[in-house]
Amino acid sequence: MLVELDYPKPVPVELDPKQTVLLIVDMENESAHPSAPLYMGEQVDRIIPRIVALRRYVRESGGKVVHTRSVRKLDALEFTLFNNTVRKIEGTWGAEFIEQLKPEPNEPVVVKYTHDCFYETGMEALLKQLQLKPGEARIIITGVATRGCVQCAVTGFSIRDYHVYVPMDCTAQKDEKEMLQAFSLFTGYAYRYNVTMTLSNMIQLDKAGPVRQAS
């Protein structure tokens, strides 16, 4: 049986900026800079200006911005045992943020050594520090890669009972089919009760106008 995947219908949302966090996942040189060997190309190029515009809108509206940084150590089992591609080694250029999305001084960075932004990281402590409570806080998740670290972030916040929003024009995967597989997961039974698929220009914070859409 052939199963066809398509983009979910985006839903307009209006959020309280005091309860809203924009999470920018792993916008690092290794994936998003044209000089990097694992550069994702046009797929990531398209989302960069949109995330830039969304970040500006969230900040100007009074919301919070948090970044994740994915790094690895050379002796990680991912490389030494499982022979995965060596990348994003801690302290190297590849693990640095791209220039367009370098964190501002008041934008926290959660460093992670796996795809999962909750596993042995400071994410839960940061959420408590920012007084972002399950059932109340709204988490907008953007970045790369859709079926990797973004998917882990969506899962992590969903199972912890946060309201989760995925602007589909602000996340990228090199293989579009894999991206659609992730979107299909997010709209499935286990996620759809608290995960909403949207677009960056369909997000409205309080009474402010919608985000100024980048082309």
pLDDT digits (tens, 9 = 90+) for 116-174: 999 999 999 999 999 999 999 999 999 999 999 999 999 999 999 999 999 999 999 99
Q: Is residue 185 part of a domain?
A: yes
Q: Which helix (H) or strand (E) holds 138?
A: strand 138-144
SS3 40: coil
How does pLDDT run across 164-200, given as a tens digit for each residue? 999 999 999 999 999 999 999 999 999 999 999 999 9
Q: What are phi and psi of 189, to 5 degrees?
A: -55, -40
Burial class (CB in 10 A: 0-12, 13-18, 19+), 104: exposed
User: Is residue 146 situated within a structural domain?
Assistant: yes
Sign of CA dihedral 203, 128, 114, 55: positive
CB atoms within 10 A of CB 38: 15
CA 208, CA 87: separation in Å to the nearest integer?
Answer: 40
Question: Among residues 162, 7, 183, 32, which one has the least CA distance to residue 100?
Answer: 32
Residue 215's pLDDT is 44
Is residue 86 included in any domain, yes or no? no
Task: Give the count of beta carbons closer than 10 Å to the beta carbon of residue 96.
Answer: 16
Is 90 domain-assigned? no
Structure tokens belonging to residue 33: 């800079």
Q: Whole-angstrom Cα distance, residue 82 to residue 195?
A: 32
Q: Answer whether residue 129 is part of any domain.
A: yes
> Tell me, what CATH number does 41's domain have?
3.40.50.850
pLDDT, tens digit (0-9, with 9 covering 90-100), for 70-106? 999 999 999 999 999 999 999 999 999 999 999 999 9
| Residue 2 in domain | no
This prediction's pTM? 0.95
Closest-CA residue to 21 (of 172, 128, 148): 128
Write out the residue range of the structural domain in which residue 46 sits: 13-71+98-205
Q: Is residue 7 part of a domain?
A: no
Number of domains within the chain: 1
Residue 84 lies in a domain: no
